[in-house]
Chains A and B, each alone.
Chain A
Amino acid sequence: MELLLGQVFNGFSVASLYLLAALGLALSFGLMRVINMAHGEMLMIGGYLAYLTLQVVPGPWRLVAALPVAFVGAALFGALIHVVLIRRLSARPLDTLLATWGLSLILQQGARSLFGAIGVEVTAPAWLDGGISVLGIELPAVRLFIIGVAIAVLAGLALLLSRTRIGLLVRAVNQDRMMAAATGIDAGRVDLVVFALGTGIAGLAGVMLALLGPVTPTVGQSYIVPAFLVVVMGGLGSIRGTVAAAVILGLVGSLAQISVDASVAQVLMLVFVILFIQIRPEGVVANKSRALDV
């Protein structure tokens, strides 16, 4: 029982990592129909930026300083990728996939050249030591913090999309790109902003990963495939769908581990997604559109 409750909590904790890793992918996929295979490397960049911030900034709250640094740094990187690569390939989603994979190779090797292959350490601050005990299960503070960050990002994103002018533009392009462009909206610019926002969130995810493990050139790879599955399952460009998919997959993985090894749990997650497609090929939340080729 304790193990079951503990795994439900762990499921949510892993789900928040999946969510932070997948949100950016889902956002730009919804808008531009492209997947950035170097998205995992945006997590990595966030992790290294956190490491660098901790080298420079003193004091117990330096982790808080690392969050905006990682967000902005990764977002700028994302903007650069969008301008140099993604925009040029916008009509060819599969080629974008391949070109960005080439980019991810280069970024990994770049990190290896700059920081070494072994990886660097980001030590969690003292205020994240320990944890609280609820219903006989121990909830580590680090994991609670990660869940909190995920919720905060989600709330911020919801506000941004529903209450701001930029959100309005994003929703307009999302619904009908041509019509939006016809009304004078600079769709290319909206793409750029959303892409940068998505990679910024990935940067934050990288800081979270750094609290749980080493920051290595390949740190992004460990969460990227589950993040892809979240996008597949979530439905086109739907944030609600992405959240639901992340939670479901997080729980499937964690609950499976009560009785099987982590390796088998990983396989079960894929099987689950394929079965899920049989029932709801349009994803958790369907995007109502009259366009045929979505």
Chain B
Amino acid sequence: MFRLKRQFVVAAGVAGVAAFAPFVLGGYDLNLLARFLALSLLALGIVLTWGHGGILSLGQGVFFGLGGYALAMHMKLTPLAPGEVPDFMMLGGLEALPAWWVPFGNPGFALLAVVLVPGIVAALFAWSVFGRRVGGTYFALITQALALAFATLLVSAQETTGGFNGLTDFQVVLGLDLNGAEAGRTLYWVTLLVLALGWAGVAALLASRFGTMLRAVRDGENRVRFLGHDAAAYKIIAFAVAAMLAGAAGALFTLHAGVISPAMVGVVPSIEMVIWVAIGGRTSLAGAIAGTLAVNFARDAISSAFPDLRPYALGLLFILVVTLLPGGLAELLAARFRKVAR
């Protein structure tokens, strides 16, 4: 069912072609593509949890935000002299760096935090919910509340988080001058590489015994449990891996967008992330990436021209895809190919 080798070949091929984009696209288009590729990384995690694990999370924005903020905090600290605090802290009346900010000055710590903080938070959260055998719709509702709570908390703790304004105005990341001419290309390639690795990694995971067990849990959790397996463990691991991917996506997105703010982590962005995957195809990694790119490019193209149309289009698309085409575009294409092959 899941042909790993073919996945690797396709992933490597697509990435190889995409690596030439900087020589073709202008600065703005390249930045846009890089942003959306970063978002695709998060979509891979949704395929893992939702498509293959049956876990619908309406709170992926939280983990996206945790990763984005972890890197953003590091970038805010880099240009500061010892004893200085970022400008927004001064606005809140803070004169010294809060203790929990200090380790983010270290680049190694910050990079680890980008994936580990979302991973650990997700694991603890999932453990506390799945461990009590609460799942399905309940889990979706609780994750949505989590997204709301996280965004609210970020806004209200503004002297240490930048509040509603978020964190912005980054100059340098790990020695790379973000104002420099080469920054755009370099970051694009980094993003592409991370995405290709993420794709290969998730594909391998799905093809492994773990993937089989995850699908078994999705299709009959009680049966898996009766056979003596810890069903919750599979779900917790899948959720944590998806959160780590979301964290990395958030960090990369923050680099390309130049800003991370509560507007990108709340209820609505979190649920929009599910749309990308629903449209692309919830069980297909390639479909999820394609869906993410398609929805975001379309949104960029139509929103300015017909601002009132967007909610209608998005809402209708969601209803139609979910009701009539649960497998998304990937299913449509697969059916077409099968027909041709026959």
Binding site for B on A (CB under 8 A): 29, 33-35, 85, 88-89, 92-95, 97-99, 101-106, 108-109, 112-113, 225, 228-229, 231-232, 261, 263-264, 266-267, 270-271, 273-274, 277-278, 281, 292-293
Contacts and interface: CB of A to CB of B under 8 A. Distances in A.
Nearest to B54: A94
Contacts of B156: 261, 263-264
Contacts of A292: 222
Interface stretch (B81-89, B133-141, B188-196, B251-259): B133-141
B318 A98 contact: yes
Contacts of B140: 35, 94, 97
A277 B129 contact: yes
A219 B158 CA distance: 26
Given A34-B137, A102-B322, A109-B308, A225 B274 contact: no
Closest 3 CB pairs of A and B: A102-B318, A105-B315, A263-B156
Given A93-B137, A99-B319, A273-B145, 5 more contacts: A94-B56, A102-B315, A105-B311, A105-B315, A267-B153
B96 interface: no
Interface in B117-144: 125, 128-129, 132-134, 136-138, 140-142, 144
29 contacts: A33-B137, A85-B319, A94-B56, A95-B323, A97-B140, A98-B56, A98-B278, A98-B322, A99-B319, A102-B316, A104-B315, A105-B312, A105-B318, A106-B316, A112-B308, A225-B145, A228-B144, A229-B141, A232-B138, A263-B153, A266-B152, A267-B149, A267-B153, A270-B142, A270-B145, A270-B146, A274-B128, A277-B128, A277-B132
A264 B149 CA distance: 8
B267 interface: yes
Contact of B312 (A34, A109, A293): A109
B166 interface: no
A93 B135 CA distance: 12
Given A85-B319, A264-B156, A292-B222, A95 B148 contact: no
B271 interface: yes
A102 B317 contact: yes
Nearest to B222: A292
A109 B316 CA distance: 12
Contacts of A33: 137
Nearest to A106: B315
B131 to A, nearest CB: 8
A267 B152 contact: yes
Contacts of A266: 148-149, 152
Contacts of A92: 326
Contacts of B149: 266-267, 270-271
B112 interface: no
Contacts, number: 117
Given A35-B141, A103-B315, A106-B315, A278 B308 contact: no
A274 B278 CA distance: 28
B314 interface: yes
B132 A94 contact: no
Contacts of B136: 93-94
Q: Please report whether the interface of chain A is mostly helix, strand, loop or mixed according to DSSP.
A: helix
A223 to B, nearest CB: 12
Contacts of B316: 102, 106
Interface in B32-78: 50, 54, 56
Contact of A89 (B134, B141, B142, B323): B323
B235 to A, nearest CB: 14
B286 interface: no
B56 A97 contact: yes
B155 interface: yes
A244 B72 CA distance: 42
B339 to A, nearest CB: 26
Given A34-B137, A94-B140, A232-B138, A102 B132 contact: no
A278 B318 CA distance: 34
Interface string B154-193: 0110000000000000000000000000000000000000
A34 B326 CA distance: 17
A106 to B, nearest CB: 4
Contact of B144 (A29, A99, A225): A225
Contact of A278 (B132, B271, B278, B319): B132
A23 B57 CA distance: 24
A74 to B, nearest CB: 19
Which of B54, B140, B275, B317 has the most CB atoms of chain A within a 10 A radius of its CB? B140
Contact of A101 (B138, B148, B271): B271
Contacts of A274: 125, 128-129, 142
Contact of A109 (B56, B155, B315): B315
A93 B153 CA distance: 30
Given A108-B311, A225-B144, A101 B132 contact: no
Nearest to B225: A292
B32 to A, nearest CB: 24
